[in-house]
Amino acid sequence: MNFILKRKEETNVSYEDIVHLIHKSFEDRLKQGLKFTCSFLTVEEYKKDTAKGTVFVALDKDTQELLGTATVNVKKDIYGVTYGYNEYVAIAPKAQRQGIASQLLKECEKIVKEAGAEYIFSDTAVEAKSSIQYHLKNGFKIIGLHSYPSTNYYSYFFRKQLVPSKKWNSNLYCKYAFLKSYIITKLTLRKDGHKTFLASLFKKKKKKESIIYGNSHS
């Protein structure tokens, strides 16, 4: 399939078209029992969430049909480091496995590099195998586990380092970060994001465990 990538504003694609595509793309996840927020996303929520970001679309070169989308937002983590948050990655079922998401990611990377980002962050359900493979194939490393109250699954946190880093380019360090996060999350959060019994025993609010993470989820 021949496709071209553009920024949303360079096209006639509407927010409604994109949200429709996202719903279609996540249909199989819903059938799998995974309640991604993307499946229930409204146009208003999407507009608000992407207002400060850059939205890319993939169009069929011949028919201009919308085949895929991805958004990137430049943010700062809790250490003041600039990073790009990659979200709303959704490819039409008939256009999957043809390199579209990987190409969209490259466009997102260019934008965030220009903005001085040191890494790209993303997350997905631990059961979403194709999404996990897509992240690993494109150079992301799994560095954490989390659970959001708005979903019904544990999520992996992914980081793709754009600027060389002794820590984050080390597989060993990423494994350590993941293991630490895994243990804390499993002890303190249930799959639905609510606190475990053990966590509820501790009244003192702990500083957010995430290294980067903010309140992100797809």
Ligand X SMILES: CC(C)(COP(=O)(O)OP(=O)(O)OC[C@H]1O[C@@H](n2cnc3c(N)ncnc32)[C@H](O)[C@@H]1OP(=O)(O)O)[C@@H](O)C(=O)NCCC(=O)NCCS
Does position 124 interact with ligand X (CB under 6 A)? The reply is yes
Q: How many CA atoms lie within 13 A of 38 on its CB side?
A: 28
Does position 137 interact with ligand X (CB under 6 A)? The reply is yes
Which residue intervals of the chain are DSSP H helices?
A: 15-25, 27-31, 43-50, 100-114, 129-137, 171-188, 197-201
Size of residue set near ligand X by CB under 6 A: 21
For residue 107, give Cα distances in angstroms to 116, 129, 195: 15, 23, 38
Q: Quick one: 101 or 120, whose CB is closer to ligand X? A: 101
* Of 206, 104, 216, 107, nearest in space to 157 by CA: 216
Does position 131 interact with ligand X (CB under 6 A)? The reply is yes
Site string for ligand X, 7-26 (x = CB under 6 A): ------------------xx
Residue 162 has which token pair? 């754009």
Give least dist CB 162 to ligand X, A. Answer: 19
Beta strands in 28-174 (DSSP E): 54-60, 66-76, 82-91, 119-125, 141-147, 154-161
Residue with tokens 């579209």: 100
Q: Quick one: 102 or 200, whose CB is closer to ligand X? A: 102
Give least dist CB 119 to ligand X, A. Answer: 16
Q: Quick one: 115 or 132, whose CB is closer to ligand X? A: 132
Q: Is the CB of residue 115 less than 8 Å from the CB of residue 151?
A: no
Q: Quick one: 130 or 165, whose CB is closer to ligand X? A: 130
The correct pick among 128, 142, 143, 189 for binding ligand X (CB under 6 A) is 128
Q: Degrees (nearest 5) of the Cα angle 84, 163, 147?
A: 40
Give least dist CB 94 to ligand X, A. Answer: 11
Q: Quick one: 99 or 116, whose CB is closer to ligand X? A: 99
Give least dist CB 29 to ligand X, A. Answer: 6
Which 69-108 residues touch ligand X, going by CB under 6 A? 89-91, 96-102
- Report CA torsion sign: 150, 213, 106, 99: negative
Q: Quick one: 63 or 207, whose CB is closer to ligand X? A: 63
Give contact residues for ligand X (rule: CB under 6 A): 25-26, 29, 89-91, 96-102, 124, 128, 130-131, 133-134, 137, 218
